[in-house]
Amino acid sequence: MGVDDRNYDNCYMLSTNGGLPTSLARPPRYHLLYLDRCGPTVVNPLKTITHGVTVVNREVVMSIINSKFFNPFLEDIMANAASGMAVQDECKLKFLELKAKRNHRYIIFRIDGQQVVVDKLGNPDDTYDDFSASLPANECRYAVYDFDFTTDENVQKSKIFFIAWSPDISKVRMKMVYASSKDRFKRELDGIQVELQATDPSEMSLDIVKGRAI
């Protein structure tokens, strides 16, 4: 597909003087960032295309994306970055086993191509530390955890947590794909009671989980 054949609804512009990114209005001398299902890509580096829009190389755009300036706008961009992600039937089956039969303490999911698949199953007697240690340090994952706790009234209860794990050191494209597919995937798991989003282990510590459960 050529540059001029792209759907400009999926494009954003970054001004050369550090102005705010916005939907493509096709002014001259702006950097064009094209977003597809796999995240941001840059086409035809340094080439001027229709309506005088200038495309810069990938390194420039990725450095802008990684900057503190651009972070507040990632949420809007991620909404366009991935859609229609399929969910493998095993994901729903194993979740039902966790919810109804309590066969698994936790389930970790990963995105493989254009679908969400089961990555790892936790044994019923696994601890929260076992679960935390199963999350990769440099890659995003989805997870559900069946958390048992005791209330202040000494009542035994449990809640199912959905955890969106997106470590700071993971690749930008991976973060965007996982974030933009999260709500679509979570809707397939009927019975989620609490959601956590974490970029490092301190944001999903056992104390935080306990506090959210009670």
Alpha carbon 104 to its chain centroid, in Å, reads 23
How much is the pLDDT for 214?
Answer: 85
Q: What is the mean pLDDT of residues 70-97?
A: 69
In the chain the first and final C-alpha atoms are separated, in Å, by 52
What confidence tier does 124 reach under pLDDT thresholds 50, 70, 90?
very high
Asked if the model's pLDDT at residue 11 lies above 80, the reply is: no
Residues 97 and 178 in one domain: yes
Q: Residue 202 sits in which domain range?
A: 86-213
Asked if the model's pLDDT at residue 15 lies above 80, the reply is: no
Query: What count of other Cβ atoms lies within 10 Å of the Cβ of residue 177?
Result: 21
Query: What count of other Cβ atoms lies within 10 Å of the Cβ of residue 179?
Result: 20
Domain boundary pick from 32, 63, 81: 81
Residues 111 and 208 in one domain: yes
Q: What is the mean pLDDT of residues 60-89?
A: 57
Residue 86 and residue 188: Cα distance in Å, rounded? 10
3 state DSSP class of 115? strand
Residues 116 and 168 in one domain: yes
How much is the pLDDT for 189?
Answer: 96
Tally of domains within the chain: 2
Residues 70 and 144 in one domain: no
Residue 95 and residue 42: Cα distance in Å, rounded? 38
Residues 73 and 90 in one domain: no
Lowest-confidence segment of 13-17, 93-97, 140-144, 208-212 by average pLDDT? 13-17
How much is the pLDDT for 105?
Answer: 97
Residue 179 and residue 185: Cα distance in Å, rounded? 10
Residues 43 and 91 in one domain: no
Asked if the model's pLDDT at residue 138 lies above 50, the reply is: yes
Lowest-confidence segment of 31-45, 58-72, 138-152, 176-190 by average pLDDT? 31-45
Residues 77 and 115 in one domain: no
Question: Domain of 195: which CATH number?
Answer: 3.40.20.10
Q: Are strands 106-112 and 11-15 parallel, antiparallel or unpaired?
A: unpaired
- pLDDT above 90 coverage of the chain, percent: 57
